[in-house]
Chains A and B, each alone.
Chain A
Amino acid sequence: MKISVANVEHIARLARLELSQSEKELFAGQMDAILGYVDKLKELNTDNIIPTSHAVPMENAFRDDIVHPSIGLEKALANAPDRAGSFFAVPKVIE
Protein backbone atom coordinates (compact mmCIF):
# COMPACT_ATOMS: atom_id res chain seq x y z
CA MET A 1 0.00 0.00 0.00
CA LYS A 2 1.25 3.43 -0.93
CA ILE A 3 0.57 6.12 1.72
CA SER A 4 -0.65 9.29 0.07
CA VAL A 5 -0.76 12.84 1.37
CA ALA A 6 -4.55 12.37 1.53
CA ASN A 7 -4.07 9.42 3.93
CA VAL A 8 -1.84 11.58 6.12
CA GLU A 9 -4.42 14.37 6.10
CA HIS A 10 -7.15 11.96 7.19
CA ILE A 11 -5.10 10.61 10.08
CA ALA A 12 -4.01 14.11 11.08
CA ARG A 13 -7.65 15.21 11.20
CA LEU A 14 -8.59 12.25 13.43
CA ALA A 15 -5.67 13.12 15.74
CA ARG A 16 -6.51 16.84 15.64
CA LEU A 17 -3.06 17.70 14.24
CA GLU A 18 -2.35 20.59 11.94
CA LEU A 19 0.47 19.79 9.52
CA SER A 20 2.23 21.89 6.92
CA GLN A 21 2.46 20.69 3.33
CA SER A 22 6.12 19.71 3.75
CA GLU A 23 5.32 17.77 6.95
CA LYS A 24 2.52 15.89 5.21
CA GLU A 25 4.92 14.83 2.47
CA LEU A 26 7.63 13.93 4.97
CA PHE A 27 5.22 11.77 7.07
CA ALA A 28 3.71 10.14 3.99
CA GLY A 29 7.17 8.89 3.08
CA GLN A 30 7.96 7.76 6.64
CA MET A 31 4.64 5.96 7.11
CA ASP A 32 5.07 4.31 3.77
CA ALA A 33 8.47 3.00 4.86
CA ILE A 34 7.00 1.63 8.12
CA LEU A 35 4.19 -0.15 6.31
CA GLY A 36 6.74 -1.42 3.82
CA TYR A 37 8.50 -3.12 6.69
CA VAL A 38 5.18 -4.66 7.79
CA ASP A 39 4.91 -6.07 4.26
CA LYS A 40 8.28 -7.64 4.81
CA LEU A 41 6.99 -9.28 8.04
CA LYS A 42 4.04 -10.65 6.11
CA GLU A 43 6.42 -12.94 4.29
CA LEU A 44 6.66 -15.05 7.45
CA ASN A 45 4.32 -18.00 7.84
CA THR A 46 2.08 -17.25 10.86
CA ASP A 47 -0.58 -19.93 10.26
CA ASN A 48 -0.13 -21.50 13.69
CA ILE A 49 0.56 -18.34 15.68
CA ILE A 50 -2.21 -16.81 17.83
CA PRO A 51 -2.54 -13.06 17.15
CA THR A 52 -0.37 -11.29 19.73
CA SER A 53 -2.17 -8.57 21.66
CA HIS A 54 0.45 -8.18 24.38
CA ALA A 55 4.20 -8.52 24.45
CA VAL A 56 4.41 -9.77 28.06
CA PRO A 57 3.20 -13.25 29.02
CA MET A 58 0.84 -12.09 31.78
CA GLU A 59 -2.86 -12.40 32.44
CA ASN A 60 -5.58 -11.51 34.97
CA ALA A 61 -4.29 -8.51 36.91
CA PHE A 62 -7.16 -7.56 39.20
CA ARG A 63 -7.96 -5.21 42.03
CA ASP A 64 -10.71 -5.76 44.61
CA ASP A 65 -13.75 -3.51 44.66
CA ILE A 66 -12.56 -1.43 47.61
CA VAL A 67 -12.76 2.37 47.67
CA HIS A 68 -9.50 4.28 47.90
CA PRO A 69 -9.45 7.97 48.71
CA SER A 70 -9.55 10.18 45.61
CA ILE A 71 -6.95 12.90 45.27
CA GLY A 72 -9.36 15.73 46.05
CA LEU A 73 -10.91 18.49 44.02
CA GLU A 74 -8.05 20.99 44.24
CA LYS A 75 -5.42 18.53 43.07
CA ALA A 76 -7.72 17.24 40.34
CA LEU A 77 -8.17 20.76 38.98
CA ALA A 78 -4.61 21.95 39.64
CA ASN A 79 -3.46 21.41 36.04
CA ALA A 80 -6.66 22.61 34.42
CA PRO A 81 -6.12 25.43 31.93
CA ASP A 82 -9.40 26.90 33.14
CA ARG A 83 -12.01 26.09 35.77
CA ALA A 84 -15.51 27.20 36.71
CA GLY A 85 -16.35 26.38 40.30
CA SER A 86 -15.72 22.65 40.70
CA PHE A 87 -15.76 22.01 36.95
CA PHE A 88 -13.09 21.95 34.29
CA ALA A 89 -14.12 24.80 32.00
CA VAL A 90 -13.99 24.14 28.25
CA PRO A 91 -15.25 26.04 25.21
CA LYS A 92 -18.97 25.62 24.73
CA VAL A 93 -19.93 22.17 23.45
CA ILE A 94 -23.41 21.94 22.00
CA GLU A 95 -25.33 19.14 20.39
Chain B
Amino acid sequence: MRYQPVIGLEVHVQLLTDTKIFCGCSTTFGAEPNSHTCPVCLGMPGALPVLNKKVVEFAIKAGLSTNCSITPRSIFARKNYFYPDLPKGYQISQFEDPICQWGWLDIKIEGQDEPKRIHITRIHMEEDAGKLVHGELSGPGDGSGVDLNRACTPLLEVVSEPDIRSSDEAVSYLKQLHQIVTWLGICDGNMEEGSFRCDANVSVMPVGSDTFGTRAEIKNVNSFKFVKQAIDYEIQRQIDLIEDGGTIVQETRLFDPNSGTTRSMRSKEEAHDYRYFPDPDLVPLVISEEWVESTRKGLPELPEQRQQRFMTDLGLPLYDAEVLTASRAQADYFEAGVAAGGNAKAVGNWIMGEITRSLNDSGASIEACPVTPAQLAELLKLIDNGTISGKIAKTVFEGMFRTGKDAAAIVEEQGLVQVSDSSAIEGIIDEIMAANAGQVEEYRGGKEKVFGFFVGQVMRASKGKANPSVVNELLLNKLKG
Protein backbone atom coordinates (compact mmCIF):
# COMPACT_ATOMS: atom_id res chain seq x y z
CA MET B 1 0.00 0.00 0.00
CA ARG B 2 1.16 3.57 -0.59
CA TYR B 3 0.93 6.13 2.17
CA GLN B 4 0.34 9.86 2.33
CA PRO B 5 2.08 11.75 5.14
CA VAL B 6 0.11 14.52 6.87
CA ILE B 7 2.11 17.14 8.75
CA GLY B 8 1.25 20.15 10.89
CA LEU B 9 3.89 22.38 12.46
CA GLU B 10 4.00 24.35 15.70
CA VAL B 11 6.74 26.94 15.65
CA HIS B 12 7.96 28.82 18.70
CA VAL B 13 9.34 32.23 17.80
CA GLN B 14 11.30 33.98 20.54
CA LEU B 15 10.66 37.70 20.34
CA LEU B 16 13.45 40.29 20.20
CA THR B 17 12.29 42.41 23.11
CA ASP B 18 14.67 43.88 25.68
CA THR B 19 12.57 42.58 28.57
CA LYS B 20 10.45 39.56 29.42
CA ILE B 21 6.77 39.32 28.54
CA PHE B 22 5.37 39.97 32.03
CA CYS B 23 8.24 41.64 33.95
CA GLY B 24 11.13 44.05 33.42
CA CYS B 25 13.94 41.47 33.64
CA SER B 26 16.41 41.48 30.75
CA THR B 27 16.17 38.81 28.03
CA THR B 28 19.90 38.92 27.17
CA PHE B 29 21.21 35.47 26.28
CA GLY B 30 24.15 33.94 28.16
CA ALA B 31 23.94 35.74 31.51
CA GLU B 32 24.91 34.03 34.76
CA PRO B 33 22.15 31.51 35.66
CA ASN B 34 19.23 32.99 37.63
CA SER B 35 20.70 36.50 37.58
CA HIS B 36 17.89 37.83 35.35
CA THR B 37 15.00 36.99 37.64
CA CYS B 38 12.47 38.73 39.85
CA PRO B 39 9.40 37.73 41.88
CA VAL B 40 7.23 37.58 38.71
CA CYS B 41 9.40 35.21 36.68
CA LEU B 42 10.42 33.23 39.76
CA GLY B 43 6.73 32.54 40.35
CA MET B 44 6.62 34.06 43.83
CA PRO B 45 3.14 34.14 45.39
CA GLY B 46 1.46 37.52 45.05
CA ALA B 47 3.61 38.84 42.21
CA LEU B 48 1.63 40.56 39.47
CA PRO B 49 2.47 39.97 35.79
CA VAL B 50 2.02 43.01 33.50
CA LEU B 51 2.01 42.59 29.74
CA ASN B 52 4.91 44.03 27.69
CA LYS B 53 3.28 46.21 25.02
CA LYS B 54 6.01 45.49 22.50
CA VAL B 55 5.09 41.80 22.56
CA VAL B 56 1.59 42.73 21.41
CA GLU B 57 2.97 44.97 18.66
CA PHE B 58 5.27 42.20 17.44
CA ALA B 59 2.40 39.70 17.48
CA ILE B 60 0.23 42.01 15.38
CA LYS B 61 3.10 42.47 12.90
CA ALA B 62 3.56 38.71 12.64
CA GLY B 63 -0.18 38.20 12.17
CA LEU B 64 -0.53 40.81 9.45
CA SER B 65 2.52 39.46 7.61
CA THR B 66 1.04 35.95 7.57
CA ASN B 67 -2.42 37.02 6.39
CA CYS B 68 -4.06 36.46 9.77
CA SER B 69 -7.06 38.23 11.26
CA ILE B 70 -6.23 40.13 14.44
CA THR B 71 -8.62 39.19 17.24
CA PRO B 72 -10.28 42.36 18.61
CA ARG B 73 -10.47 41.00 22.15
CA SER B 74 -8.15 38.28 23.32
CA ILE B 75 -7.34 36.88 26.75
CA PHE B 76 -4.54 35.04 28.51
CA ALA B 77 -4.99 31.62 30.07
CA ARG B 78 -3.14 29.42 32.51
CA LYS B 79 -1.92 26.10 31.16
CA ASN B 80 -1.40 23.92 34.19
CA TYR B 81 1.29 21.27 34.47
CA PHE B 82 4.19 20.40 36.73
CA TYR B 83 7.78 20.43 35.58
CA PRO B 84 10.89 21.72 37.36
CA ASP B 85 11.51 24.43 34.75
CA LEU B 86 8.05 25.96 35.33
CA PRO B 87 8.11 27.75 38.68
CA LYS B 88 4.43 28.76 38.89
CA GLY B 89 3.04 25.32 38.07
CA TYR B 90 1.37 26.89 35.05
CA GLN B 91 2.45 28.60 31.88
CA ILE B 92 0.72 31.84 30.90
CA SER B 93 -0.43 31.32 27.34
CA GLN B 94 -3.50 31.95 25.21
CA PHE B 95 -6.11 29.27 24.65
CA GLU B 96 -9.48 30.60 23.55
CA ASP B 97 -9.26 33.80 21.49
CA PRO B 98 -5.55 33.90 20.52
CA ILE B 99 -4.31 37.24 19.18
CA CYS B 100 -4.08 36.10 15.52
CA GLN B 101 -6.20 33.58 13.63
CA TRP B 102 -6.92 32.18 10.16
CA GLY B 103 -3.79 33.13 8.23
CA TRP B 104 -1.82 31.48 5.48
CA LEU B 105 1.52 31.38 3.67
CA ASP B 106 1.98 30.49 0.01
CA ILE B 107 5.10 28.36 -0.18
CA LYS B 108 7.23 27.58 -3.21
CA ILE B 109 7.98 23.97 -3.90
CA GLU B 110 10.90 22.95 -6.06
CA GLY B 111 9.80 21.68 -9.45
CA GLN B 112 6.30 23.15 -9.17
CA ASP B 113 5.21 26.38 -10.83
CA GLU B 114 2.23 27.05 -8.60
CA PRO B 115 2.83 27.90 -4.94
CA LYS B 116 1.03 25.82 -2.33
CA ARG B 117 -1.07 27.49 0.36
CA ILE B 118 -0.41 26.37 3.95
CA HIS B 119 -3.04 27.65 6.35
CA ILE B 120 -2.17 29.02 9.76
CA THR B 121 -4.68 28.12 12.45
CA ARG B 122 -3.52 30.61 15.03
CA ILE B 123 -0.66 32.62 16.48
CA HIS B 124 -0.68 33.15 20.22
CA MET B 125 1.55 34.84 22.79
CA GLU B 126 3.02 32.94 25.72
CA GLU B 127 5.92 32.83 28.14
CA ASP B 128 8.85 30.46 27.81
CA ALA B 129 9.86 28.07 30.60
CA GLY B 130 13.27 28.02 32.30
CA LYS B 131 16.19 25.83 31.31
CA LEU B 132 17.26 22.54 32.87
CA VAL B 133 20.88 21.48 32.86
CA HIS B 134 22.17 18.01 33.58
CA GLY B 135 25.55 16.71 34.60
CA GLU B 136 27.45 19.99 34.38
CA LEU B 137 26.84 21.33 37.85
CA SER B 138 29.60 22.55 40.12
CA GLY B 139 27.58 21.59 43.21
CA PRO B 140 27.23 18.23 44.91
CA GLY B 141 25.14 15.29 43.81
CA ASP B 142 24.01 14.22 40.38
CA GLY B 143 20.75 16.15 40.25
CA SER B 144 19.56 18.61 37.63
CA GLY B 145 19.98 22.40 37.76
CA VAL B 146 17.29 24.98 37.02
CA ASP B 147 18.12 28.33 35.40
CA LEU B 148 15.14 30.67 35.28
CA ASN B 149 16.73 33.41 33.15
CA ARG B 150 14.72 32.18 30.17
CA ALA B 151 11.50 31.82 32.19
CA CYS B 152 8.95 34.41 31.08
CA THR B 153 10.78 35.21 27.81
CA PRO B 154 8.17 36.19 25.20
CA LEU B 155 7.25 33.66 22.53
CA LEU B 156 4.84 33.50 19.67
CA GLU B 157 3.54 30.05 18.87
CA VAL B 158 2.56 29.75 15.22
CA VAL B 159 0.33 26.74 14.59
CA SER B 160 -0.26 25.51 11.04
CA GLU B 161 -3.17 23.44 9.78
CA PRO B 162 -2.23 19.86 8.81
CA ASP B 163 -1.83 21.03 5.18
CA ILE B 164 1.76 19.88 4.74
CA ARG B 165 2.34 16.65 2.81
CA SER B 166 6.11 16.10 2.78
CA SER B 167 9.28 16.97 4.66
CA ASP B 168 10.29 19.27 1.77
CA GLU B 169 7.06 21.23 2.09
CA ALA B 170 7.64 21.46 5.85
CA VAL B 171 11.12 22.90 5.35
CA SER B 172 9.88 25.33 2.71
CA TYR B 173 7.12 26.57 5.04
CA LEU B 174 9.56 26.95 7.92
CA LYS B 175 12.10 28.83 5.82
CA GLN B 176 9.45 31.26 4.67
CA LEU B 177 8.17 31.83 8.21
CA HIS B 178 11.76 32.24 9.42
CA GLN B 179 12.42 34.78 6.69
CA ILE B 180 9.32 36.78 7.63
CA VAL B 181 9.98 36.99 11.38
CA THR B 182 13.65 37.91 10.91
CA TRP B 183 12.71 40.38 8.16
CA LEU B 184 10.22 42.05 10.52
CA GLY B 185 12.99 42.28 13.11
CA ILE B 186 10.84 40.57 15.74
CA CYS B 187 13.09 37.47 16.10
CA ASP B 188 16.83 36.94 15.65
CA GLY B 189 16.10 33.60 13.99
CA ASN B 190 18.97 31.84 15.75
CA MET B 191 17.88 28.20 15.66
CA GLU B 192 20.87 26.85 17.60
CA GLU B 193 20.11 29.10 20.55
CA GLY B 194 16.45 28.12 20.30
CA SER B 195 15.09 31.47 19.10
CA PHE B 196 13.14 29.68 16.35
CA ARG B 197 12.17 26.11 17.13
CA CYS B 198 9.72 23.66 15.74
CA ASP B 199 7.54 20.75 16.87
CA ALA B 200 6.15 18.59 14.08
CA ASN B 201 2.90 16.63 14.20
CA VAL B 202 3.27 13.72 11.82
CA SER B 203 0.83 11.02 10.75
CA VAL B 204 0.35 8.81 7.69
CA MET B 205 -2.78 7.54 5.93
CA PRO B 206 -3.34 5.36 2.86
CA VAL B 207 -3.20 7.37 -0.38
CA GLY B 208 -6.75 8.37 -1.32
CA SER B 209 -8.05 8.24 2.25
CA ASP B 210 -9.59 11.31 3.81
CA THR B 211 -9.21 10.16 7.41
CA PHE B 212 -5.98 11.22 9.08
CA GLY B 213 -3.96 8.60 10.93
CA THR B 214 -2.95 8.85 14.60
CA ARG B 215 -0.23 11.45 14.97
CA ALA B 216 3.02 11.64 16.88
CA GLU B 217 4.43 14.97 17.99
CA ILE B 218 8.18 15.35 17.46
CA LYS B 219 9.99 17.81 19.66
CA ASN B 220 13.47 19.30 19.76
CA VAL B 221 14.14 19.91 16.09
CA ASN B 222 16.48 22.88 15.89
CA SER B 223 17.65 23.15 12.30
CA PHE B 224 16.06 22.94 8.85
CA LYS B 225 18.16 19.87 8.11
CA PHE B 226 16.97 18.12 11.27
CA VAL B 227 13.33 18.95 10.48
CA LYS B 228 13.65 17.08 7.21
CA GLN B 229 15.51 14.19 8.83
CA ALA B 230 13.10 13.92 11.76
CA ILE B 231 9.97 13.98 9.59
CA ASP B 232 11.35 11.52 7.03
CA TYR B 233 12.39 9.15 9.80
CA GLU B 234 9.03 9.43 11.53
CA ILE B 235 7.05 8.83 8.32
CA GLN B 236 9.02 5.67 7.60
CA ARG B 237 8.74 4.47 11.22
CA GLN B 238 4.96 4.79 11.13
CA ILE B 239 4.64 3.08 7.72
CA ASP B 240 6.86 0.20 8.86
CA LEU B 241 4.85 -0.15 12.05
CA ILE B 242 1.52 -0.26 10.18
CA GLU B 243 2.85 -2.70 7.57
CA ASP B 244 4.00 -4.98 10.40
CA GLY B 245 0.47 -4.97 11.79
CA GLY B 246 1.20 -2.55 14.63
CA THR B 247 -0.77 0.52 15.75
CA ILE B 248 0.47 4.10 16.03
CA VAL B 249 0.00 5.53 19.51
CA GLN B 250 -0.49 9.23 20.03
CA GLU B 251 2.63 10.32 21.88
CA THR B 252 5.40 12.87 22.14
CA ARG B 253 8.68 11.80 20.56
CA LEU B 254 12.11 13.36 20.88
CA PHE B 255 14.39 13.77 17.87
CA ASP B 256 17.96 12.67 18.45
CA PRO B 257 20.26 14.53 16.03
CA ASN B 258 23.13 12.10 16.62
CA SER B 259 21.26 9.03 15.37
CA GLY B 260 18.74 10.85 13.14
CA THR B 261 15.92 8.93 14.86
CA THR B 262 12.97 9.75 17.10
CA ARG B 263 12.17 8.06 20.39
CA SER B 264 9.24 8.08 22.76
CA MET B 265 9.36 10.52 25.69
CA ARG B 266 7.93 8.46 28.51
CA SER B 267 7.80 11.38 30.93
CA LYS B 268 5.29 13.15 28.70
CA GLU B 269 3.14 10.11 28.11
CA GLU B 270 0.75 10.92 30.92
CA ALA B 271 -2.42 12.23 29.31
CA HIS B 272 -2.14 15.96 28.85
CA ASP B 273 -4.88 17.57 30.88
CA TYR B 274 -3.85 21.19 31.14
CA ARG B 275 -7.07 22.51 32.72
CA TYR B 276 -6.80 25.85 30.93
CA PHE B 277 -8.65 28.72 32.51
CA PRO B 278 -8.53 32.52 32.04
CA ASP B 279 -5.68 34.10 34.00
CA PRO B 280 -7.30 36.53 36.43
CA ASP B 281 -4.00 38.45 36.83
CA LEU B 282 -4.05 39.63 33.22
CA VAL B 283 -6.91 41.77 32.00
CA PRO B 284 -8.35 41.26 28.50
CA LEU B 285 -6.38 42.61 25.57
CA VAL B 286 -8.44 44.81 23.28
CA ILE B 287 -6.90 45.74 19.95
CA SER B 288 -8.65 48.55 18.09
CA GLU B 289 -9.00 48.77 14.33
CA GLU B 290 -6.81 51.91 14.47
CA TRP B 291 -4.03 50.03 16.23
CA VAL B 292 -4.10 47.31 13.59
CA GLU B 293 -4.11 49.80 10.73
CA SER B 294 -1.28 51.93 12.10
CA THR B 295 0.77 48.76 12.56
CA ARG B 296 -0.06 47.70 9.00
CA LYS B 297 1.17 51.06 7.70
CA GLY B 298 4.41 50.67 9.64
CA LEU B 299 5.19 47.23 8.17
CA PRO B 300 8.29 47.03 5.97
CA GLU B 301 7.95 45.88 2.38
CA LEU B 302 7.89 42.08 2.77
CA PRO B 303 10.25 39.69 0.95
CA GLU B 304 7.71 38.59 -1.66
CA GLN B 305 6.67 42.13 -2.55
CA ARG B 306 10.30 43.15 -2.78
CA GLN B 307 11.12 40.18 -5.03
CA GLN B 308 8.31 41.25 -7.34
CA ARG B 309 9.58 44.81 -7.46
CA PHE B 310 13.16 43.72 -8.16
CA MET B 311 11.83 41.72 -11.11
CA THR B 312 9.43 44.27 -12.59
CA ASP B 313 11.22 47.54 -11.82
CA LEU B 314 14.85 46.46 -11.96
CA GLY B 315 14.53 43.63 -14.48
CA LEU B 316 16.15 40.95 -12.34
CA PRO B 317 15.53 37.28 -13.11
CA LEU B 318 13.48 35.34 -10.51
CA TYR B 319 16.53 33.49 -9.19
CA ASP B 320 18.47 36.70 -8.50
CA ALA B 321 15.44 38.36 -6.91
CA GLU B 322 14.96 35.37 -4.58
CA VAL B 323 18.59 35.17 -3.52
CA LEU B 324 18.93 38.91 -2.98
CA THR B 325 15.84 39.01 -0.74
CA ALA B 326 17.05 36.12 1.42
CA SER B 327 17.51 38.70 4.17
CA ARG B 328 16.35 42.25 4.58
CA ALA B 329 19.93 43.47 5.12
CA GLN B 330 21.05 41.92 1.85
CA ALA B 331 18.11 43.40 -0.05
CA ASP B 332 18.87 46.81 1.51
CA TYR B 333 22.52 46.50 0.45
CA PHE B 334 21.49 45.66 -3.08
CA GLU B 335 19.11 48.61 -3.34
CA ALA B 336 21.69 51.01 -1.92
CA GLY B 337 24.18 49.80 -4.54
CA VAL B 338 21.65 50.39 -7.32
CA ALA B 339 20.73 53.79 -5.87
CA ALA B 340 24.44 54.74 -5.93
CA GLY B 341 24.43 54.21 -9.68
CA GLY B 342 25.31 50.54 -10.05
CA ASN B 343 23.71 48.45 -12.78
CA ALA B 344 21.14 46.22 -11.05
CA LYS B 345 22.19 42.95 -12.63
CA ALA B 346 25.89 43.68 -11.99
CA VAL B 347 25.34 44.76 -8.37
CA GLY B 348 23.31 41.57 -7.84
CA ASN B 349 26.00 39.39 -9.37
CA TRP B 350 28.69 40.92 -7.16
CA ILE B 351 26.60 40.43 -4.02
CA MET B 352 25.82 36.82 -4.90
CA GLY B 353 29.44 36.19 -5.93
CA GLU B 354 32.42 38.02 -4.46
CA ILE B 355 30.64 39.65 -1.53
CA THR B 356 28.92 36.51 -0.28
CA ARG B 357 32.14 34.53 -0.69
CA SER B 358 34.25 37.12 1.15
CA LEU B 359 31.69 37.48 3.94
CA ASN B 360 31.52 33.71 4.35
CA ASP B 361 35.31 33.50 4.54
CA SER B 362 35.55 36.25 7.13
CA GLY B 363 32.46 35.14 9.04
CA ALA B 364 30.96 38.64 8.88
CA SER B 365 27.36 39.57 8.14
CA ILE B 366 26.42 41.85 5.27
CA GLU B 367 25.60 44.65 7.73
CA ALA B 368 29.29 44.65 8.64
CA CYS B 369 30.59 44.37 5.07
CA PRO B 370 33.79 46.47 4.84
CA VAL B 371 32.84 47.47 1.28
CA THR B 372 29.85 49.83 1.33
CA PRO B 373 27.19 49.69 -1.42
CA ALA B 374 28.40 53.06 -2.72
CA GLN B 375 31.97 51.76 -2.91
CA LEU B 376 30.76 48.72 -4.84
CA ALA B 377 28.93 51.01 -7.29
CA GLU B 378 32.18 53.01 -7.79
CA LEU B 379 34.07 49.79 -8.52
CA LEU B 380 31.47 48.87 -11.16
CA LYS B 381 31.86 52.31 -12.75
CA LEU B 382 35.60 51.71 -13.13
CA ILE B 383 34.82 48.50 -15.03
CA ASP B 384 32.19 50.20 -17.19
CA ASN B 385 34.41 53.09 -18.23
CA GLY B 386 37.30 50.75 -19.05
CA THR B 387 39.64 51.87 -16.28
CA ILE B 388 40.01 48.28 -15.09
CA SER B 389 39.07 44.91 -16.54
CA GLY B 390 36.45 42.64 -14.94
CA LYS B 391 39.22 40.26 -13.95
CA ILE B 392 41.33 42.94 -12.28
CA ALA B 393 38.19 44.18 -10.54
CA LYS B 394 38.27 41.03 -8.40
CA THR B 395 41.77 41.89 -7.25
CA VAL B 396 40.64 45.45 -6.54
CA PHE B 397 37.65 44.13 -4.59
CA GLU B 398 39.89 41.94 -2.42
CA GLY B 399 41.90 45.02 -1.54
CA MET B 400 38.75 47.01 -0.78
CA PHE B 401 37.35 44.22 1.39
CA ARG B 402 40.61 43.92 3.31
CA THR B 403 41.24 47.62 3.88
CA GLY B 404 37.89 49.36 3.45
CA LYS B 405 39.48 51.74 0.94
CA ASP B 406 37.78 53.04 -2.21
CA ALA B 407 38.27 51.24 -5.52
CA ALA B 408 40.10 54.19 -7.10
CA ALA B 409 42.60 54.26 -4.23
CA ILE B 410 43.38 50.55 -4.61
CA VAL B 411 43.74 50.88 -8.38
CA GLU B 412 46.09 53.82 -7.90
CA GLU B 413 48.17 52.17 -5.16
CA GLN B 414 48.66 48.89 -6.97
CA GLY B 415 48.95 50.36 -10.45
CA LEU B 416 46.06 48.30 -11.78
CA VAL B 417 44.78 50.67 -14.45
CA GLN B 418 43.79 48.76 -17.54
CA VAL B 419 46.09 49.13 -20.53
CA SER B 420 44.06 49.81 -23.68
CA ASP B 421 46.83 51.59 -25.53
CA SER B 422 47.43 49.59 -28.76
CA SER B 423 51.11 50.33 -29.06
CA ALA B 424 51.91 49.10 -25.54
CA ILE B 425 49.94 45.90 -26.12
CA GLU B 426 51.40 45.40 -29.59
CA GLY B 427 54.86 45.48 -28.04
CA ILE B 428 53.94 42.66 -25.66
CA ILE B 429 52.33 40.62 -28.45
CA ASP B 430 55.41 40.94 -30.66
CA GLU B 431 57.66 39.67 -27.87
CA ILE B 432 55.45 36.71 -27.16
CA MET B 433 55.09 35.74 -30.81
CA ALA B 434 58.86 35.93 -31.20
CA ALA B 435 59.39 33.71 -28.15
CA ASN B 436 56.81 31.14 -29.32
CA ALA B 437 57.46 30.79 -33.02
CA GLY B 438 56.38 27.13 -32.94
CA GLN B 439 52.87 27.98 -31.72
CA VAL B 440 52.63 30.77 -34.30
CA GLU B 441 53.27 28.20 -37.03
CA GLU B 442 50.69 25.83 -35.53
CA TYR B 443 48.08 28.58 -35.54
CA ARG B 444 48.83 29.58 -39.07
CA GLY B 445 48.66 25.88 -40.01
CA GLY B 446 45.01 25.87 -38.91
CA LYS B 447 45.22 24.93 -35.23
CA GLU B 448 43.05 27.78 -34.00
CA LYS B 449 42.88 26.50 -30.44
CA VAL B 450 46.36 27.92 -29.87
CA PHE B 451 44.75 31.37 -29.87
CA GLY B 452 43.77 30.95 -26.24
CA PHE B 453 47.36 30.21 -25.35
CA PHE B 454 48.44 33.55 -26.80
CA VAL B 455 45.69 35.47 -24.99
CA GLY B 456 46.81 33.88 -21.73
CA GLN B 457 50.45 34.74 -22.33
CA VAL B 458 49.68 38.37 -23.16
CA MET B 459 47.44 38.77 -20.12
CA ARG B 460 50.10 37.25 -17.90
CA ALA B 461 52.84 39.44 -19.33
CA SER B 462 50.67 42.52 -18.69
CA LYS B 463 49.88 41.27 -15.16
CA GLY B 464 46.22 41.09 -16.14
CA LYS B 465 46.07 44.78 -16.97
CA ALA B 466 45.77 44.55 -20.76
CA ASN B 467 42.28 45.28 -22.06
CA PRO B 468 41.06 41.84 -23.18
CA SER B 469 39.09 43.05 -26.17
CA VAL B 470 42.02 45.08 -27.47
CA VAL B 471 44.28 42.06 -26.94
CA ASN B 472 41.89 39.85 -28.92
CA GLU B 473 41.66 42.24 -31.80
CA LEU B 474 45.40 42.89 -32.12
CA LEU B 475 46.30 39.24 -31.69
CA LEU B 476 43.94 38.17 -34.47
CA ASN B 477 45.48 40.66 -36.87
CA LYS B 478 49.06 39.83 -36.01
CA LEU B 479 48.64 36.07 -36.02
CA LYS B 480 47.06 36.17 -39.45
CA GLY B 481 50.39 37.74 -40.48
Q: Which residues of A contact B (CB under 8 A)?
A: 10, 14, 16, 53-56, 58-68, 70-73, 76-77, 82-95
Contact = CB atoms under 8 A, between A and B. Distances in A.
Contact of A67 (B24, B51, B144): B24
Interface stretch (B26-34, B107-115, B370-378): B26-34
Contacts of B145: 84-85, 87-90
Contacts of B340: none
16 contacts: A10-B273, A56-B283, A58-B283, A58-B284, A60-B285, A64-B53, A65-B54, A66-B24, A67-B25, A68-B38, A70-B26, A71-B37, A73-B33, A90-B84, A91-B143, A93-B144
A38 B443 CA distance: 103
Nearest to A77: B34
Interface in B132-154: 132-134, 137-148
Contact of B139 (A63, A67, A89): A89
A66 B24 CA distance: 6
Given A59-B285, A92-B142, A93-B132, 18 more contacts: A54-B283, A59-B73, A61-B282, A62-B52, A63-B51, A65-B54, A65-B55, A67-B18, A68-B19, A70-B35, A73-B35, A76-B34, A84-B137, A84-B141, A87-B146, A87-B147, A88-B147, A91-B143
Contacts of A61: 50-51, 282-283
Given A65-B18, A65-B19, A70-B36, A88 B148 contact: yes
A95 B265 contact: yes
Contacts of B134: 92-94
A95 B34 contact: no
A71 B38 contact: yes
B286 interface: yes
A67 B137 CA distance: 29
Best-surrounded residue of A58, A63, A72 (most CB of chain B within 10 A): A63
A70 B36 CA distance: 5
Nearest to B77: A53
B75 A53 contact: yes
B461 interface: no
B34 A88 contact: yes
A59 B283 contact: yes
Interface residues of B, number: 56
B297 interface: no
A90 B283 contact: no
B80 A86 contact: no
A54 B280 contact: yes
Contacts of B55: 65
Lowest 10 A-B CB distances belong to which pairs?
A: A84-B139, A87-B145, A68-B24, A53-B278, A65-B54, A88-B146, A62-B53, A86-B33, A85-B138, A84-B137
A16, A61, A82: which has the most chain B beta carbons within 10 Å?
A: A61
B140 A84 contact: yes
B267 interface: yes
Contacts of B36: 70
A72 to B, nearest CB: 7
A35 B17 CA distance: 43
A68 B443 CA distance: 81
Contacts of A56: 283
Contacts of A87: 33-34, 133, 137, 139, 145-147
Given A62-B53, A66-B19, A83 B139 contact: yes
Interface string B266-305: 0100000101001010111110000000000000000000
B275 to A, nearest CB: 7
B326 interface: no
Contact of B34 (A60, A67, A86): A86
A90 B286 contact: no
Contacts of A83: 139
B24 A62 contact: no
Contacts of B37: 70-71, 76
Given A14-B80, A53-B75, A93-B132, A62 B51 contact: yes
A59 B19 contact: no
B82 interface: yes
A90 B137 contact: no
Most chain B C-beta atoms within 10 Å of own C-beta, residue among A16, A72, A95: A95
Contacts of A59: 73, 283-286
Contacts of A82: 143
Contacts of B52: 62-65
A84 B146 CA distance: 9
Contacts of B141: 84, 89
B311 interface: no
B386 interface: no
B382 interface: no
Contacts of B132: 93
Contacts of A77: 34
Nearest to B254: A95
A48 to B, nearest CB: 17
